[in-house]
Amino acid sequence: MTTNAVLSQELTASEIADARRYLEKTRDDVFAATEGLSEAQWNHRPSSGGWSIAENVEHIVIVQDRILGPLSQALAGAPESSSDQAEVIDGIIKAKFADRSRKFNAPELVQPTGQWTPAESLKRLSENTDRLIQRLEAGPGLRRHRIFSPPLNALTEGAHTLMDGYHWILAAAGHTERHTKQIWEVRAGADFPAS
């Protein structure tokens, strides 16, 4: 790849600012959705099925951990490649990752296991959001490498399969938004404890 092609893939100040706002908003939305919950409310599992609020927050953190760890390492080791579809995929992530009209089963490696208390999960969520923002603002390179994305593949039915580093950061925020919606669904359930 030529130097000009690589430079043309660098993020704009607007893209960085948009992603930072999205990360901050989705973090803040989780805190708002969980504020003042009792232990019974945190751990309530809906009778209709699905995760408790505590499990949703833990799952958000596990996915953030994967994006910050193994997926970042895989991206760094991937060959440089360009895409003329980067903005299209940005839009898909923003529009579809948070959409709860389609349900997916989480892979076992990101299933919640009760490894943290709600307070620990919230602390990790805040720290991971800060780390994602630091990665976003660290400098060039987020558009230079792409790896296979099972969520993008599923959402686009194979039309798009690769995400770059910027996409994974957007996906972290979109995934957080998706599960915040699920938290509100749990809270709205008829069997949700009053206190």
Rounded distance, CA 136 to CA 139, Å?
Answer: 7
Residue pointed to by tokens 């839009």: 91
Position 6 in a domain: no
User: How many domains are contained in the chain?
Assistant: 1
Q: What is the pLDDT of residues 114-151, one digit of tens each?
A: 999 999 999 999 999 999 999 999 977 999 999 999 99
Q: Which of the listed ranges 5-19, 96-110, 164-178 does the model predict with the highest average pLDDT?
A: 164-178
Q: What is the pLDDT of residues 100-114, one digit of tens each?
A: 999 889 999 999 999
Residue pointed to by tokens 């989705």: 26
Q: For residue 170, what are its two tokens?
A: 């957007």
Q: What is the pLDDT of residues 14-61, one digit of tens each?
A: 999 999 999 999 999 999 999 999 999 999 999 988 999 999 999 999
Position 1 in a domain: no
Position 114 in a domain: yes
- Give the domain extent around 176: 11-188
Position 96 in a domain: yes
Residue pointed to by tokens 């299209």: 88
Position 5 in a domain: no
Provide φ and ψ at 167, rounded to 5°.
Answer: -60, -40
Strands 146-148 and 162-164 come out as antiparallel
Q: What is the pLDDT of residues 68-101, one digit of tens each?
A: 999 999 999 999 988 899 999 999 999 999 999 9
Q: What is the 3-state secondary structure (H, E, C) of 48-75?
A: CCCCCHHHHHHHHHHHHHHHHHHHHHHH
The pTM of the full predicted model, rounded to 2 decimals, is: 0.93
**CATH number, residue 35:** 1.20.120.450
Exposure on the CB side of residue 164, measured as CA atoms within 13 A: 24
Position 3 in a domain: no
Position 2 in a domain: no
